[in-house]
Each structure stands twice: as structure tokens, then as C-alpha cells.
């Protein structure tokens, strides 16, 4: 790699971490993507300064990676990393023009997420054995995932100080350490209170004092444990779909939209920065769209 890029990458990484609150996982992904650019320039025998990079260089870079078999979704992430990096350099006055202005990411197919019906959600929850401490904890966790549309990392990261159960609200810390308040329904509140009173508070040792969901050793519950539990209960409920903790989030959003919730309200609840993300995550089935048209379009009124 051309050494002149290293200080720029380090400054950019510090900016993402300190100013935008990016996770270590995201920083690692950005670093890996950006390091491919000077490696490509070296391969071509080119050594332009960062301020001399043209869109033509970047187009060739993307074409090279596509020929090597880089998937369109990975290409799109790379374009996002490049745009963010050069926008940072422009703001810092390291460069005086943005070479990514005309750079276009490949078009991605619309990925429809797997969604459970309300009946399937209830069947999955009913498959949990409530005669065990393990089951009481899992029921509280999955009720919370579905009631609030949380990411699995948001659920496992919940703190006791985030719970306002008397007011039926949670304070959730999402991506970029952004906080939002999310309502939580009575069913989830009931199971949370049962879990905390009869399981969490009875643990012989609690290592993470402020963490809500704990394993049997008193430590914070891992995301892997949640994935494993969800797949187990889905199988026991006879659900023949690819189910993960994120399926509860997709189902939460879709059920709200199908029930008539405003898309921007759902955007706020999910913690999405862009309404476009919410539209992708909250697909509506064609029967519901057809019924909406028939019910509300003035031309269909008798």
C-alpha cells in the first residue's frame, strides 16, 4: 500500500469512531474496503496524490473488483465507503473537489425479508417452556423483540436504567449510539417483570449489574445465544421458514404497516435514518395493497 494513504485512513477512522459513533465492526469493514484502492493503484503502476484521484480511477477500480467476482452488494458498500471517505477529505480541505460525485453504485435487487404472521409469532412464543428459568428469560426477550422491533444487539444491550415499565417505554441505544424511546406493550411488560423478579434477581451471581438479559452465569446474554434460541423455538413450533431474531423486527414493522401505521412513525420506532430503508424493511403483501386500493380509492366507491 502507498504509505501516504495511511495517515488519511487513520484520521478518517478516528472521525468515524469519535464523531459518528461507528462500531468497531463497521470501522473494520470500512478500513478493509478503502485499503483496496491504493492496492489497485499500485497494481496499475499509478501513483496519483489523493487530490489527483479522478472518477475515472474509481470507475476502473470498481470494474476491476467486479471482474474479480465482488458481489454487487459488496460493491455498493464499497461505493458508500469511498463517498464517505472523500466527503471527509473535502470537509477537512485535504482535497478541493469530490471525485465520487458522479460515482454510481450497482443497482441491487429489492430483498424482501422473511416475515412471520401474527399466528406464527404466537405459536413460536407458545413453544417456550415457561416452567424453566431459561424459558422465562427467553419469553421475556422474544416478547420484547416483537413488541418493540429491536435489533438483537439493542435487546442484548438493554440496561435496567433503560426500562420505564410503569410508563410502558424503553430507551434504546441503536446504531451510532443514537438513542430513541420505544413504547412497549402490556404483554411484553408482564413477561419482563416476571423474568426480572423470578429469574434475574434470583441468580447467585450477577456480573453485569445493569444489563437486563443475563445468562445463567450472570453475564450479558450473547447474540449467538439468541439466534440459537429463536431457531430452536421456530423448529418446535413447526415453522418452516428461515427465522432469526431479526425476523421479529421485520414482522413488527410489517404488522404495524398492515394495521395502518404511518410509515414515518415506523421509521422512528425502528431507528432508521432514511425512510427508504423503512420501505425496504416493511414490505406489504399484494393482497393488503389490493384491499387498500379497493377500500380507499375514490373511483372504487359506490
The CATH number of whichever domain residue 51 belongs to comes to 1.10.150
Is residue 6 in some structural domain? yes
301 as an active site residue: the answer is no
Q: Which of 22, 139, 146, 151 does the annotation list as catalytic?
A: 151
Q: Which domain holds residue 295?
A: 118-300
281 as an active site residue: the answer is yes
Q: Which of 137, 233, 281, 283 does the annotation list as catalytic?
A: 281
- My answer on whether 146 and 248 are in the same domain is yes
Please tell me the distance from the alpha carbon of residue 264 to that of residue 281, in angstroms, as a whole number. 13
pLDDT of the residue at 296: 62
Please tell me the distance from the alpha carbon of residue 120 to that of residue 254, in angstroms, as a whole number. 14
> How many domains, the chain?
2
Q: Please state the φ and ψ torsions of residue 281, each to the nearest 5 degrees.
A: -80, -15
Q: Is the pLDDT assigned to residue 48 strictly greater than 50?
A: yes
User: Which residue, among 151, 140, 113, has the nearest Cα to 195 in the 3D structure?
Assistant: 140
**Residue 281 banded pLDDT, cuts 50, 70, 90:** low
Is residue 100 in some structural domain? no
Q: Which residue has the higher pLDDT, 198 or 296?
A: 198
pLDDT of the residue at 109: 57
Distance of CA 270 to the CA centre of its chain: 9
Burial 157-172 (b: 16+ CB within 10 A, else e): bbeeebbeeeeeebeb
**pLDDT tens digits for 213-225?**
999 999 999 999 9
197 as an active site residue: the answer is no
Q: How close are the terminal C-alpha atoms of the chain, in Å?
A: 70
Helix (H), strand (E), coil (C) string for 122-183: HHHHHCCCCCCHHHHHHHHHHHHHHHHCCCHHHHHCCEHHHEECCCCEEEEECHHHCEEEEE
pLDDT of the residue at 24: 82
Q: Is the pLDDT assigned to residue 114 strictly greater than 80?
A: yes
Model pTM? 0.62
What residues contact residue 83 under an 8 Å CB cut-off, 6+ apart?
100, 103
Is residue 105 in some structural domain? no
pLDDT of the residue at 80: 86
Q: Which of 200, 249, 250, 283 does the annotation list as catalytic?
A: 249
- My answer on whether 33 and 167 are in the same domain is no
Q: What is the CATH number of the domain that holds 126?
A: 1.10.443.10
190 as an active site residue: the answer is no
Q: Is the pLDDT assigned to residue 1 strictly greater than 50?
A: no
- My answer on whether 143 and 72 are in the same domain is no
Q: Which of 175, 180, 223, 231 does the annotation list as catalytic?
A: 175
25 as an active site residue: the answer is no
pLDDT of the residue at 234: 96
- My answer on whether 162 and 247 are in the same domain is yes
Q: Is the pLDDT assigned to residue 286 strictly greater than 60?
A: no
139 as an active site residue: the answer is no
User: Which residue, among 227, 255, 224, 236, has the nearest Cα to 116 in the 3D structure?
Assistant: 255
Is residue 131 in some structural domain? yes
Amino acid at each position: 500500500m502507498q504509505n501516504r494513504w495511511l495517515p488519511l485512513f487513520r484520521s478518517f477512522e478516528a472521525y468515524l469512531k469519535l464523531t459518528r459513533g461507528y462500531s468497531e465492526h463497521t470501522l473494520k469493514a470500512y478500513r478493509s474496503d478503502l485499503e483496496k484502492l491504493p492496492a489497485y493503484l499500485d497494481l496499475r503502476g499509478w501513483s496519483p496524490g489523493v487530490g489527483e484521484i479522478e472518477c475515472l480511477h474509481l470507475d476502473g477500480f470498481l470494474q476491476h473488483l467486479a471482474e474479480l467476482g465482488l458481489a454487487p452488494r459488496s460493491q455498493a458498500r464499497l461505493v458508500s465507503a469511498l463517498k464517505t471517505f472523500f466527503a471527509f477529505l473535502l470537509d477537512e480541505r485535504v482535497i478541493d473537489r469530490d471525485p465520487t460525485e458522479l460515482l454510481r453504485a450497482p443497482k441491487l435487487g429489492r430483498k424482501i425479508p422473511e416475515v412471520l404472521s401474527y399466528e406464527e409469532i404466537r405459536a413460536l412464543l407458545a413453544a417456550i417452556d415457561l416452567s424453566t428459568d431459561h424459558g422465562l428469560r427467553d419469553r421475556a426477550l422474544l416478547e420484547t423483540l416483537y413488541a418493540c422491533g429491536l435489533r438483537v444487539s439493542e435487546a442484548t444491550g438493554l440496561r435496567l436504567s433503560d426500562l420505564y415499565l410503569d410508563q410502558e417505554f424503553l430507551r434504546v441505544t441503536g446504531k451510532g449510539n443514537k438513542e430513541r424511546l420505544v413504547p412497549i406493550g402490556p404483554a411484553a411488560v408482564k413477561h419482563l417483570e416476571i423474568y426480572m423478579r423470578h429469574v434475574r434477581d434470583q441468580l447467585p451471581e450477577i456480573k453485569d449489574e445493569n444489563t437486563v438479559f443475563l445468562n445463567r452465569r450472570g453475564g450479558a446474554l450473547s447474540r449467538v445465544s439468541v439466534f440459537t434460541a429463536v431457531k430452536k423455538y421456530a423448529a418446535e413450533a413447526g415453522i418452516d421458514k428461515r427465522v432469526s431474531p431479526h425476523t421479529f423486527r421485520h414482522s413488527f414493522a410489517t404488522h404495524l404497516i398492515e394495521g395502518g401505521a404511518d410509515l414515518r412513525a415506523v421509521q422512528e420506532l425502528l431507528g432508521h435514518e432514511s425512510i427508504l430503508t423503512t420501505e425496504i424493511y416493511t414490505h406489504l403483501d399484494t393482497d393488503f395493497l389490493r384491499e387498500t386500493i379497493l377500500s380507499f380509492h375514490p373511483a372504487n366507491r359506490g
